Structure 1
Amino acid sequence: MMDMSMGMGLLPSQQMRASPALIALNNMLVLSNLELQQLVSQEIEDNPALEQLDSDDSLCMRCGRPMSGATCIYCLHEDLRLAEAERDDSSGVPADDEFDPLLAIAAPVTLQESLQRDLHVSLPNEDHGIADYLLGSLNDQGFLEDEIEIIADILKTDIARIERVLHKLQELGPPGVGARNVQECLLIQIDRYERIGVSNPYIQRIVAEHWLDLGEHRYGAIAQALGISYDDVVAARDFMRQHLRPFPLERGSENNSPSDTTFLIPDVVIRDEGDHLEIEVVESRRFYLRLSPIYQDLTQAVTVGQEQVSTEEREHLRTFVSRARLFLTNIRQRRETIRRIAEYLIERQEAYLRYGVRHLEALTRAEVANAIGVHESTVSRATANKYVQLPSKQIVPFSHFFTASLSIKDVIQELVSNEKLPLTDQEIVEHLHERGHDVARRTVAKYRAQLGILPSTLR
């Protein structure tokens, strides 16, 4: 358990270093909902000055509100409203095709279905069959069981193409899914963490180049081979134990199987309120924490001299109350950071949220960071491993909002589908410019090829 009792500070030298408090906040930002709940449970167990308020009602895992028995009335009403609106907007519906309210309740989404949807959005149509085959080849732990060469032979395509689709699967899925062995699974997770600024300087080389030595605990041999200290190797091992897992889907037992039912739980819910879009950071409803009133009152009494305690008791109070306050502050800052990012996404991507993927704007994490006044790595950490529920009820990863090429490809597909005469790449560039996408002709040619669209002279 990390010690978060220390305050923020600078070393006497001119070089600024991250304080323990900032490190604790950064570590908390990157956690998924499940990991945060585990951290909260552990902190409550370790720190008597921190309390979780009890709730008589269980909370909906989808929206975070109190449930009535096994049903979330809020989600049910919202689903009924949307279904009714869709029925009113539809035409040609047979009179006997009556609306069944039970069908409006969100159906469970399997991991395989979720990945299939994301892969089909991200890949050209001709690669969808490969993606589906790869998904079907995942075992219950998330590993790819079939050899790439065998898959290529079965599908009558080249190995490089299979590798390209597999890489996309590994990129979109839970960290490690699609790996062919434990070593590759760990390397994928290390790469994911490095992208968001969570890393150890030696872990990648140790896992990639000294896998057998690591498994047999030959830390001295690893240190000598890499020219580092024994303690450096131990620190890398501790990083692996804290952040990595050997099986992509080991958490949650069989329910994480690609063929079994799993739920994507949103961290942020965006609702269409007609004239505006409204956001909610869902985790704020999932648990309620506070500084223990007993510890708070006792600390106050000791401070003003109303209560006499021993030096050891005073140190106990100071340590655990400071630690609890820091933990509560970091929880609030985490929620506030996620909220500010979501608000900016609404501002920049409102058309997409209302009208669909063709209106997805080109957006970078750096732009978001500049707009809300934080470092780009903060945005990366705050959006990692987190999901957003759109007004349409679709749940997408935060990274979905930063996929500029997805929107451009979609527009290219639309332009070509509706062309009267074949459009040249330069003409497509001009159409894209009119829609706010400034891309080079060679980029259009690349995206066109990825979509399987022939040049204008051959269409």
Structure 2
Amino acid sequence: MMLMRPGYGMFQQQSVKMRLTPQLRKAITILQLSTPELLEVVQQEMDENPVLEFAPVQERAAEFSTYRSTSKRDSDAPYDLLNHAASNEISLERHLKEQLMFMPKIPQTLRRIVVFMIGNLDANGYLRPSLSEISDALKVEGELAEQAISLLQSFEPTGVGARNLRECLLLQVQSLAESFPLVAVLIRHHLKDVAGYHVHKLSQRLQASPQEIQAAMDVIKGVNPRPGAAFHTEAVHYIMPEIVIEQSGERLAVHTHQASLPRLSMNGYYERIAREGRDTNEAARFLAGKIQSAMFFLRCLEQRRKTIFRVAQAIADEQSEFFWRGTAHLKPMTLKHIADKLGMHESTVSRATAGKYAQTPWGIFELKHFFPSGLPNQSGEAASSERVKSRLKEWVRSENPAKPYSDHKLAALLMQEGIQISRRTVAKYREELGISSSQRRKRI
């Protein structure tokens, strides 16, 4: 009997493998970048490569592309580009210190305690250290700490300096204490029942009518539980649409937004130096390498633009009802459907739509928005989740406040329209829309 023993050896074997070259990897990376990310890459490339420069205005205008769809509708809806975003550069700390500054008669010791408290507020405006901890840290009397927190809580926004949610709410409703005492009672002693919307339970316990309880709850609901959240110093994130899809007469016009990205070209002077002294001049050889790199980078940018443009064209064709009639007419669509239509790989379509935005007659949307999931209906087709959400909003808006629709009833209404959906899915969509349950929507 012959025994097989392991050993070492050299042999040849053919196999098929996909390998990404550095150039292909860079092209894929550029395609999947969002507009702000791409702007950073463009700036970095220009800093590293002296051959690259901004293209003349005439050259950039020549690259403007337009596409006309075959849909025929009558509409005239000009679009407004989002050119600016509001920025709040005043922090909560600065806002409170400015108020303290205009109180010259405050003793210096008390002022120091208030400044310390302001520095220990969290992002929502709550004071987290206890008064005893503040007194120990500053070596001051507890009575002074009490005076300091009373002073701080008199500042705007109302509710700032509170040590918990109950105190924050009470600070904001204290002006209603005489005319509407039930509000303060609910906050002090029944906040959990208010959160659970136990109207009848509170009505029996407090010997008040359900209407009075509900009115008091509505007041509490309108109070801001995070008074400091309106002040922030975070960077503003701009959305820059790369595609514009607009109604033009009886057709849809799709074009790239010129201002979304700067157009680049190569410096003619450096090209001439490289061409004339490539074989003898070291600087010329250096520039020749930079020119090759610049040409490849420009090809990647152009390929990215064309790919996103082609995908947007296909989206405009497939979702034309949305662009003419609104969100309720967005139909289910998959990445694979567009990929097959364009002869692309599904992953390419995914990269071309992620983080890219389009300006439409109904607002600015990420290209991913046009690929909603679908729910089966009786006609054999599918209704998009956006259409279902739109119908839910319409029904809730028109319902009887005394008898709001339950999730089960909303599911039944959708069933009547041929959309097969479960109560659980209705509840999920309702929560995504920020709509309260029927119990909380009920008005007595």
Q: What TM-score do you get using the length of structure 1 for normalisation?
A: 0.47
More helix by share: 1
Q: What TM-score do you get using the length of structure 2 for normalisation?
A: 0.48
